[in-house]
Amino acid sequence: MKDDRRNQKNRAVPQGRLSRLGQFGRLASGVAGGMMAEGARRLADGDRPTVRNMMLTPGNAARMADRLSHLRGAAMKLGQMISLDAGDMLPPELTEIMARLRDNAHRMPPQQLERVLAKQWGPDWRKRFLRFGATPIAAASIGQVHRAKTPDGRDLAIKVQYPGVRESIDADVDNVATLLRISSLLPSELDIAPLLKEAKKQLHEEADYVREGRFLTLFGELLSDTPEYVIPVVDEEFTTDQVLAMSFIEGRAIEALVDAPQDTRDAAMHLLFKLVMREIFEFGVIQSDPNFANYRYQPETGKLVLLDFGAARPIDPAVADGYKRLIIAALAGDRDTVREEAAVAGFVSAAAISRHREPIDAMIDVIIAQLNRPGKFDFGDRSFVEPLRSHGMDVAADKAVWHIPPTDLLFVQRKISGMALLAARLKVRIDVRALVAEHFAIDKHR
């Protein structure tokens, strides 16, 4: 059993358009077989299965997670985004399975890694290191990370991009979108072309490691006055557009804090939320990928280690200003202004407000009530999620009001939602009003 698992972890990244297309074809065939089996089972039980019900089975989710992990690149990245963005909206079984895409990528076989590094650094690259760890310390969607030491004593983390990932981005995004279409997870009436275009743009940016290095340096400068955050330093000697070398920094997975004392969890999460506020309202640039693997914790110092700035992007000032007005209105308990600002920002369409004013107001009331509860907000109490889901489904049932918010808004909201999901996992309690008061002129004691 152990050997089988070890062999499965070493899987070459499929390269070339036909090779990757074949992987998508096998995935589609496997999912179709799973749907037929689930449909037969439900019919035997007297049910009338929908395409969505047949698609969203643990077996099909496992197939998708395994195949997307094999493909890596844009395919796996989009799967990660779905698993994070859905948050509480996915059934628990699927949430657990899709989480594999965040934590359990396959790694390149040694021979493939050797070819990649020889192309980037030359055939004698090993002579430039005192030690280079053959086994990656992390493997994600676009690259895997190795630890290395130079003859002059530099302890480095070296992120190596999977071969063919950059060239496959556009096709992979289109193929994943097709899978979502045929699975009925995306309605045919919804125009997702602008979102797909933006997703391709961001993924191309994430595959540019020189660009990521610049943002890594920028955030190091922006947070130089805040020692609670630790950011690696780029090592220019070994960095190329497909290899990012940086100082190695020790830290534990942020999710390991789940067993830490309440005060420790609260303090760590307060730092993360404070960072998001500074990114949006002070820096004007945000690291928009909330993948939990991007954050690590140092128990001995209480500091947070920030990793992976490939998804960093500037924030439209209008988006930041819209968030500010929306937050202030919610904390003031002003339902009408929240509704108006949500429409202006693009969270909800004018048609949805006109046709479904009652459930939208009910959702706003739930959010206002939660934000204005006395004392600290308990992120571990998810009792409000079901009312939001229920009212939201009432609106979502009307295909005439479906719309996609502006892409700038989506990427910022993705970061906020990801942090809220992490806070829920860690069951933290935070004084949200006091946190917001640090940035805005509101009464933190109201």
Known catalytic residues are 289
Cβ atoms 361, 332 nearer than 8 A: no
- DSSP result, 15-68: -SHHHHHHHHHHHHHHHHHHHHHHHHHHHHTT----HHHHHS-HHHHHHHHHHH
Q: Where are the alpha helices (DSSP H) in 311-356?
A: 317-331, 335-345, 350-355
Paired tokens of 208: 């540019």
Paired tokens of 210: 């020189």
Cα–Cα distance measured from residue 169 to residue 204, given in angstroms and rounded to the nearest whole number: 7
Cα–Cα distance measured from residue 79 to residue 141, given in angstroms and rounded to the nearest whole number: 10
DSSP state letter for 159: E
- What are the C-alpha distances in Å from 437 to residues 277, 324, 327, 441? 11, 11, 11, 6
Radius of gyration for the chain, computed over Cα atoms and rounded to the nearest angstrom: 23
- What are the C-alpha distances in Å from 68 to residues 12, 51, 155, 320, 414? 13, 21, 32, 34, 21
Cα–Cα distance measured from residue 302 to residue 38, given in angstroms and rounded to the nearest whole number: 48
Q: How many CA atoms lie within 13 A of 347 on its CB side?
A: 18
